[in-house]
Amino acid sequence: MDATQIINIQKEAEKLIDYFSPKIISEVNNEYVKIAKIKGEDIPWHNHENEDELFYIINGNLLMEIENQPSFTMKTGDLYVVPKGVNHRVSSSDECLIMLIETKSTKHTGDVITPITKSIDNQKY
């Protein structure tokens, strides 16, 4: 990955095969820039104890659930930051393309391990 190159997000999205499987497309400072396709409800409730997590909706709608708060739907162009330590999960009834910006130490589903959990190595192209 060459951080100085121009990256076309739509072309990178065409490479995504599996839902809920983020792929690192770039990095800035100590953060990874990732994209993922979401469809269904496979992401478990989880949190990231020491890291905030930025969600940006490139295309589609994403249901964001935050523990002890009303859920809300994010739409194309929306951005939301889940603060560190906050239990959350996301889902989408139709395919949704998202961008994530996360500290390089952020675990995909926090300390919750499920069949969809991806290591950092599995998030690289």
Q: What is the mean pLDDT of residues 16-26?
A: 94
- Ordered structural domains, the chain, with CATH: 9-123 (2.60.120.10)
Which positions ≥6 away from 45 have C-beta within 8 Å?
A: 65, 67, 87, 88, 89, 112
**CB count, 10 Å around CB of 3?**
9
Q: Is the pLDDT of residue 1 over 60?
A: no
Distance CA 92, CA 58 (A): 13
Closest CA to 62 of 78, 81, 86, 47: 78
Q: What is the mean pLDDT of residues 73-81?
A: 98
Closest CA to 98 of 4, 33, 48: 33
Summarised one tens digit per residue, pLDDT across range 26-62 is 999 999 999 999 999 999 999 999 999 999 999 999 9
- Its pTM stands at 0.90
**Mean per-residue pLDDT of the chain:** 92
Which positions ≥6 away from 25 have C-beta within 8 Å?
A: 1, 7, 9, 12, 33, 34, 35, 125
**Whether the Cβ atoms of residue 37 and residue 91 lie closer than 8 Å to each other:** no
